[in-house]
Amino acid sequence: MSRLFGTDGVRGEANSTLTADLALALAEAASAVLAAPSSGAARPVAVLGRDPRASGEMLEAAVSAGLAASGVDVLRVGVVPTPAVAYLTAAYEADMGVMISASHNPMPDNGIKIFGRGGHKLGDALEDRIEQLLRPGSEPQRRAYRPTGAAIGRVRSAHEALDRYLQHLAAAVDTPLKGVTVVVDCANGAAHRAAPLAYRAAGAKVVAINDEPDGININDRCGSTHLDDVRRAVVEQGADLGLAHDGDADRCLAVDAEGNVVDGDVIMAILAVAMREAGELSEDTLVATVMSNLGLHLGMQAAGITVRTTAVGDRYVLEELRRGSYSLGGEQSGHVVLPDHGSTGDGVLTGLRLMARMAQTGRTLAELTKVMTVLPQVLVNVRVDDKKAVADSAAVGEAVRRAEAELAGRGRVLLRPSGTEPLVRVMVEAEDIAVARTLADALSDAVSGV
């Protein structure tokens, strides 16, 4: 059996590779590892949320069944952002949390993200233990505890969960947003209620778009992976900025008043400088991934801030944040983590903190972005049949060496297999965008030829 967990939980096409049977078995295995009942103790508790995609209803039922059959009480928190499930897992002192979402992936996909106590994402060792219980022949171990009667887990809805999460967000921002007009693209996803409510409660004037999920339209040409809607709406509404979330709202990208995109690197740079000024940036250090723009490193160096680099994936950012007790990290894609306020990336919190910086300084978002200069960067997603074959290819290795020689230290090349999709991501940075495009095309051709 190939590894089930990717960089952000278990994902697949719902009812094809990610079936109700698999969801139930995964819930059983996770219960055995994370929430095994103790003799005489109260039943373990799991928080369970989802995004609005149609298959989430089916998978929620399957996960609930697997948890309850394992003697775990289930708190269903409904359609809420992934960071809400992480926060609520800690707030309810639950043994584990489960979020059913494929994040920014298209609607036919879905996923299952699992959190341990405190709302923390699982490390490789725990994921491996869960996977071991899903291998052929392991069913007796997975189902070793099968309670009956009153010991069977109960399933109930926590109707106050969203309000509790919103109160948590409000406590994380102490600068009123009065006078800030924001367009928020909810991606027809999990933030369709939470984001507009949180921004209005903080004092902003909010124009919400793509906030009417029907189970099918999540991420459909909208949200953080399709910014045309929010760019257009900001200009039409005369707004100060736009914010775009993905399907489960652990991401946030922005656009300024002119519709120019402000990515996760720039958002992190703005927040890092603000936190350093306030004495909140632990060790004057920002944690980013290898995909972050070289301009972020240069801008932070000029501001007296150290950048520590990890592999791609917010789980690796989180691991480094915890290891060094740092207070800010994230990814170019818009995952931003503020450990003092949450155990995982929170797109709504990121939006609040970004607008608070605008309100605090009286500066426009465009002015704030000058903290760093983005080097031209080209990213091409190449669909492949075998990611390992690409990694082992001598022809691809030679193409990378030729590109690096042409850049001569004045740019970067990075090839990275996606952790959730059959893609190899080709990234090239250069001082000249035309050079970056030419090299990215050549590398993409090499990858496609494997």
| Residue among 390, 323, 127, 106 nearest 221 (CA) | 106
Q: Where does 278-418 have alpha helices with state H? A: 294-302, 314-324, 347-361, 365-368, 387-392, 394-407
The closest of 413, 406, 408 to 429, measured between CA atoms, is: 413
Distances (CA, A) of 339 to 100, 244, 320, 345: 23, 22, 11, 9
- The answer to whether 250 is a known ligand-binding residue is yes
Beta strands at 155-157 and 73-79: parallel, antiparallel or unpaired: parallel
**27, 126, 139 from 72: Cα distances, Å:** 10, 18, 18
202 vs 182, 208, 233, 234, 353, CA distance in Å?
12, 15, 21, 19, 11
Catalytic residue IDs = 103
| Residues near 246 by beta carbon (within 8 Å), at least 6 away in sequence | 103, 104, 187, 189, 219, 223, 224, 225, 334, 347
The answer to whether the annotation marks 246 as part of a ligand binding site is: yes
133 within 8 A of 141, measured Cβ to Cβ: yes
Query: Measured at the alpha carbon of residue 51, what is the angle toward residues 47 and 54, in degrees to the nearest 5?
Result: 120
Q: Which residues are annotated as a binding site?
A: 103, 246, 248, 250
Residue ranges of the annotated binding site for Mg(2+) are 103, 246, 248, 250
